[in-house]
Amino acid sequence: MVIRSVDFVKSSAHPRECPSMDRPEYAFIGRSNVGKSSLINMVVGRTSIAKISSTPGKTQLINHFDINGDEIAEKAGETSWYLTDLPGFGYAKIKKSERVKWERTSKQFLEGRSNLMCTMMLVDSRLAPQKVDLEFMAYMGEVGLPFVLVFTKVDKLNKAERSGFQSKYETIMLKQWHKMPPIFITSAVKGDGRDELLNFIESTNVLF
């Protein structure tokens, strides 16, 4: 897939305010400070589409971007799709009530979007499996939401760490899951995993 255009559509405080469900959609979600904004910018080949902040938890709204939605992309035969940046969870230095509200909004969004093809569940490859991540993946499994597991920041791992981070998740998740979800290994700094993610999205778009 070639990314020919990236256009910000809107920010929504509630799922009912989101754009119409007229094209495939892929939601990016993860714990605060997982590197979501950097990864989104890497995937679409831009430097500042998703805002990057040194303060975790700055994404407080549902942000929609229209990918390959312009006339040039259409003439080139590219399929238009939504990339959706969801609020981070689990760490942000905000009131608990606000954090609960963000998580509730994200779940309402995920369960209510009939055009949602897949959720990209981002986890930090440097950390041991986090309870909040495992719980959110369990939730998606329980309600039947398709998702893939996207490991971020692999460029920050040494050789020994690179050989073991994935198995830590497998050891825990396979106690409850019949099999692992599709896995992508990424680095926003080096561009690792970009082609694989875009190829996955392109092949999934045909199912819409």
pLDDT tens for residues 71-85? 888 888 889 999 999
Closest CA relative to residue 35, chosen from 107, 99, 96, 88: 88
What share of the chain has pLDDT > 70, as a percent? 90
Token pair recorded at residue 195: 């082609």
The 3-class SS string of the chain reads CCCCCEEEEEEECCHHHCCCCCCCEEEEEEECCCCHHHHHHHHHCCCCCCCCCCCCCCCCCEEEEEECCCHHHHHCCCCCEEEEECCCECCCCCCHHHHHHHHHHHHHHHHHCCCEEEEEEEEECCCCCCHHHHHHHHHHHHHCCCEEEEEECHHHCCHHHHCCHHHHHHHHHCCCCCCCCCEEECECCCCECHHHHHHHHHHHHCCC
**Does CATH number 3.40.50.300 belong to domain 6-205?**
yes
pLDDT tens for residues 78-135? 899 999 999 877 655 667 776 677 778 889 999 999 999 999 999 999 999 999 899 9
What share of the chain has pLDDT > 90, as a percent? 68
Q: How much is the pLDDT for 54?
A: 45
Whether the pLDDT of residue 60 is over 80: the answer is no
**Max Cα-Cα span within the chain:** 48
Whether the pLDDT of residue 56 is over 60: the answer is no
Whether the pLDDT of residue 33 is over 50: the answer is yes
Ranges 16-30, 33-47, 98-112: which has the least confidence: 98-112
The residue ranking higher by pLDDT, 162 or 120, is 120
Q: How much is the pLDDT for 53?
A: 44
The residue ranking higher by pLDDT, 55 or 43, is 43
The residue ranking higher by pLDDT, 56 or 33, is 33
